[in-house]
Amino acid sequence: MGGILVVGASGLIGSALARAWRGRGARVVAASREPEPGPDGRRLDLAEPAAARALLRELRPELVALPAANPHVDYCESHPEQTRRVNVAGTLELAAAAAELGAPLVFFSSDYVFDGARGAYREEDPVCPLNEYGRQKAEAEAGVRGLSQRNLVVRTAAAYGWQRRPQNFVLQVIARLSAGEAIRVPDLLCNPTYADNLAEAVVELCARKLGGIFHVVGAERLPRLEFARLAARTFGLDESKILPMEPGACSARAPRPRDSSLLTAKVRAATGVRLLGAAEGLSAMKQKGEVPA
């Protein structure tokens, strides 16, 4: 059948990827645990490796994109064996099945493969995860890269944009402030990444048949607290209700990197895609004004 298989297509990054490839005229099969209606929507759960292999054998895609994961950092910390079945074992089973078909895999990793001690990480810097989620991503990265040099590892961070379930940080900020609630935000440094801009860069990497590791994040390194306040201003909400998280409030949760910012010279040189700053990305999101189809 060929075409592109996006695993995790109902999520923020997966849906942005599907739109970007379809915008270029590609045939996209959108797979997820809750698939979209129609012949190009298929059910797939990474925790069911036999089903994943069967779907790949049936579809024989030319390319597989894998943004699907359990991304809940605290849950990974408290349920490592359960989440490893998806984030490591499920990922590597899918990657192995793709390799058997000769199809390159695009695996989405995280800035959390670094401990945040210094920030401004390059692709070639050694990984040093601080929490279980980061350890799972680092292990999956190594396995995916070991299967094929054609495989692409995309490290990204703090992705935001419209999605049907308001799970990303910006939509949570909008929902809480719209309800008149206060929100406390840790003052950690990262690169907020507009999902549609991320998808544009990844689709271009794939068009150029590039493999290896690429950092694909927003152009600015910002504290999350400042980003939350910028989001509030962009959407006309009360930023005074955004408060810094109290010292020690995260002590019972998974540790977070203090500065997990990533450098992006490699992807910019490889694709020519301009990565957006936070204000530009939020403005582009606001202009869309709805959850895209």
Distance CA 107, CA 291 (A): 24
CB-facing half-sphere around the CA of 77: CA atoms within 13 A: 14
Q: What share of the chain has pLDDT > 90, as a percent?
A: 87
What does pTM read for this prediction? 0.95
Please give the positions annotated as active site.
133
pLDDT above 60: residue 292: no
Q: What is the mean pLDDT of residues 169-192?
A: 95
Asked if 18 contacts 202 with a C-beta cutoff of 8 angstroms, the reply is: no
Of the pLDDT bands very low, low, confident and very high (cuts 50, 70, 90), residue 248 is low
Whether 4 and 207 have beta carbons less than 8 Å apart is answered as no
pLDDT at residue 16 tops 90: yes
At 91-145, the pLDDT tens digits run 999 999 999 999 999 999 999 999 999 999 999 999 999 999 999 999 999 999 9
pLDDT digits (tens, 9 = 90+) for 185-208: 998 999 999 999 999 999 999 999
Mean pLDDT for all residues in the chain: 94
Residue 251 banded pLDDT, cuts 50, 70, 90: very low
Q: Are 115 and 125 in contact (CB under 8 A)?
A: no
